[in-house]
Amino acid sequence: MQLEPIAITAEVFQVGGYGLTAPEDAAIYLINFDGHAALVDAGGGREQTRLLNHLATVGVLPAQIEYLLLTHCHYDHAGGAHSLRKHLGCPVVAHTLDAVFLESGNNEITAADWYGTHIHPCPVDRPLRELRQTLPLGGRTITALHIPGHSPGSLAYLIESEGKRVVFAQDVHGPLDPVRLRSNRTDYLASLERLLALNADILCEGHYGIFRSKPVVTRFIHSCLNAALGP
């Protein structure tokens, strides 16, 4: 088991996910711009004490978290959003097309019922609507990109750290379920092309880990694209 946070750059860490928090959690990432911090995703919420301990390990206090950035509404990414929002006192950011399922506590569309549980309704304090929006953090910016397909309101977040373009794009691999998850294959293919165009140096994915270097990132996204296109 991975017991310590994973350093990606001096400003970016993986602080949650399988081996760090609960087994059902997708990856949780931390951005720390000189004491101004944001979390990307919240996991299911069952092991938040471990998550908070990992923040302390890398020198971040709860009061320094200025955003909880949700990539999409699914339970393994957003089930812990309600309790983290309450504990950290930070605004929750999500795309408006997924915010409706979070705020209503929809157990089907969020896939909470796949995990045999329910999702606590969570207010979205900053619903995003545009294809591309920026969020200020510590005198720098985080760019939120709408990448629908896996869910209607899936988002990626792009930053620069140590001269590298780092993108947080959870569930790049899918899956697609048009009935249960409201997935859209056409949107998904277009979103993968958009991710390729970012020419990112590092991809922080939700279930497949951290991809380092442009060729490795490109190869992974292409593999997802080819799988979706089929034989």
**Residue 2 has what pLDDT?**
60
Cα-Cα-Cα-Cα dihedral sign, residues 104, 141, 62, 3:
positive
**Residue 230 has what pLDDT?**
74
**Closest listed residue to residue 151, CA positions, set 107, 195, 95, 217:** 95
Peptide linkage before 175 cis (omega within 30 of 0): yes
CATH superfamily of 6-229: Ribonuclease Z/Hydroxyacylglutathione hydrolase-like (3.60.15.10)
Residue 31 exposed, middle or buried by CB count within 10 Å (0-12, 13-18, 19+): buried
Residue 9: CB atoms within 10 A of its CB come to: 17
Cα-Cα-Cα-Cα torsion 166, 125, 41, 103, nearest 10 degrees, comes to: -140
Per the prediction, the chain carries an average pLDDT of 96
Global confidence as pTM: 0.96
Token couple for 231: 């034989």
Residues 117 and 106 sit within 8 Å (Cβ to Cβ)? no
**Residue 231 has what pLDDT?**
62
* Residue ranges for the chain with pLDDT beneath 70: 1-2, 231
**Residue 1 has what pLDDT?**
53
**Residue 229 has what pLDDT?**
84
**Residue 211 has what pLDDT?**
98
Close Cβ partners of 178 (under 8 Å, ≥ 6 residues apart)? 184, 185
Domain ranges of the chain: 6-229
State the Cα–Cα distance between residues 126 and 104, nearest whole angstrom. 16
**Residue 228 has what pLDDT?**
87
State the Cα–Cα distance between residues 141 and 149, nearest whole angstrom. 25
215-225: pLDDT as tens digits: 999 999 999 99
